[in-house]
Amino acid sequence: MKYLLIQNTLDRYIDTMYQIACHINHNEKMQSNLSGIALRSRLIALENKCKLEEKAHKNIIKSRLKFLCMYLNLKKSKNYDYKDIKALYTPNIPQDDFTTAQMLNQLPEGIVSKDTGRGLFSFIHNKSAEGEKVKKDQRETWTKTSLDKAVGNDG
């Protein structure tokens, strides 16, 4: 009886510890076929906490870069601007880009812009630059496969 009371108290403390930390217990038994969405829904509180930590860390990095640039401007007599430096944070959370691609493929034309669709993918960080690359690739492909060149007309 005493052992059971101690075990229940420990289990409750462990559960409370994970709740306060906004973390999930990785020792907990889960289904073997959980999708990325199901896993992500379990991690929402932790993800929100990490976003707050990331924002605080970005502010720290920004102020350090500001003071470093001020120091270098004084020492080297150059004009360094801390606003030109961008810190990119990539969370180590699995993204379901395959499902996103399927969803975008099945949407009727005109519902979502291509620029917005590009922004939904986790591996594209600058959607406007990616759009320019796609346009450039399409122009290069178009010039290579032009029907006028295939026929011999330069018209």
Which amino acid, residue 112?
Answer: V
Query: Higher-confidence residue: 3 or 91?
Result: 3
Mean pLDDT calculated for residue range 113-142? 86
Residue-wise pLDDT tens digits, 24-47: 777 777 666 667 777 777 778 778
CA distances from 98 to 4, 7, 66, 86 (A): 47, 43, 40, 28
Beta strands in 15-80 (DSSP E): none
Token duo for residue 51: 């976003």
Statement: residue 122 has pLDDT above 90:
no
Task: Please give the biggest Cα pair distance in the chain.
Answer: 94
Burial 82-112 (b: 16+ CB within 10 A, else e): beeeeeeeeeeeeeeeeeeeeebeeeeeeee
pLDDT tens digits, residue range 62-113? 999 999 999 999 999 889 999 998 888 777 767 788 888 999 999 998 888 8
